[in-house]
A = this chain, B = another copy of it.
Amino acid sequence: MTTTGIPQPPAPREYSARATEIIAAARAVYEHDGPDALTMRRLGEELGIRAPSLYKHFADKQAVETALIEQSLAEVGAVCHRVVQKTQPGERVAALLRTYREYCVAHPNLYRLATSGPIDRAALTPGLEEWAGSPWFLAVGDPYLAQALWSFAHGMVILEIDGRYEDPSTLPSSWAAGAEAFTAAARNQ
C-alpha cells in the first residue's frame, strides 16, 4: 500500500441475482427492526418464500450476516477514504471523526453487526478489513496512533449507539476533546 492515491477496495464477492435480493431484504429487516428481527422465517416472509428455501442460496444464517458485514465495511471504508482524500492534513482527524460518527449513527444496527462480537475473519473477503481501516493511518501518519484513534472512534460510536452515555447531549464536547487530543498527538508524532 502506498500513501499516494486512494487504495482500491478488494473486489466484492459475486452473488447471484436472487442472493442479492435476499441480502437487500436482510439488510432492510436488520436495519429497521434490529438484530432479533432477522430470522430465517421472517426473511423468507419478506421475499414471499419459506425459510428452508433460503438455504438454496446461503449455507446458513451466518453467511447472510457475513454479506451484511462486508457491505457495511465497504460503505464505511468508502466514506472514510473519500473524506480523508479531500481534506487538508491538519483537518483530517476532526473531519474523519465527524464523518465516521455520522455514518455509524445513521446505520446503528448494521454498524454493531459489523464491529461487535467475535468475527470469523476467514469468511471475510481478504483485505477488506485492512482497506476499511487504512483511512485512520492516512489521517495520522502513524500505525499505532491510527489504531488508537480508530479505537477511540469505535468506542464513542458503539457506546452512543447502545445508549450507554447517561447524557448524550455531552457527546459533541467529548468528540471535540478527543479530536483535539489526537490532532495534537498527530502533530507531534
User: CB within 8 Å of B: which residues of A?
Assistant: 112, 115-119, 121, 129-130, 142-145, 147-148, 150-156, 158-159, 162-166, 170-171, 173-178, 180-182, 184-185
9 A-B pairs besides A129-B166, A148-B177 with CB distance below 8 A are: A130-B166, A144-B174, A145-B181, A147-B171, A148-B156, A150-B155, A154-B155, A181-B181, A184-B184
Bound-state Cα–Cα, A116 to B161, Å: 10
16 A-B residue pairs with CB within 8 Å: A115-B159, A116-B162, A117-B162, A130-B166, A144-B173, A147-B171, A147-B174, A148-B175, A151-B174, A152-B155, A155-B155, A155-B156, A155-B158, A158-B158, A181-B181, A184-B185
Bound-state Cα–Cα, A52 to B184, Å: 57
Bound-state Cα–Cα, A117 to B117, Å: 10
Q: Are B177 and A185 in contact (CB under 8 A)?
A: yes
The count of identical subunits is: 2
Bound-state Cα–Cα, A164 to B154, Å: 11
Q: How far is the CB of A64 from chain B (nearest CB, A)?
A: 19
Residues from chain B with Cβ under 8 Å of A147 in the complex: 165, 170-171, 174, 177
Q: How far is the CB of A158 from chain B (nearest CB, A)?
A: 7
Residues from chain B with Cβ under 8 Å of A176 in the complex: 144
Bound-state Cα–Cα, A121 to B168, Å: 14
Q: Are A185 and B174 in contact (CB under 8 A)?
A: no
Chain B, Cβ-Cβ closest to A180: B185
Which of A145, A151, A152, A165 has the largest number of chain B CB atoms within 10 A? A151
The 5 closest A-B pairs by CB, nearest first: A155-B155, A151-B155, A181-B185, A148-B178, A144-B173
Residues from chain B with Cβ under 8 Å of A130 in the complex: 166
Q: How far is the CB of A182 from chain B (nearest CB, A)?
A: 6
Residues from chain B with Cβ under 8 Å of A159 in the complex: 115, 151, 154
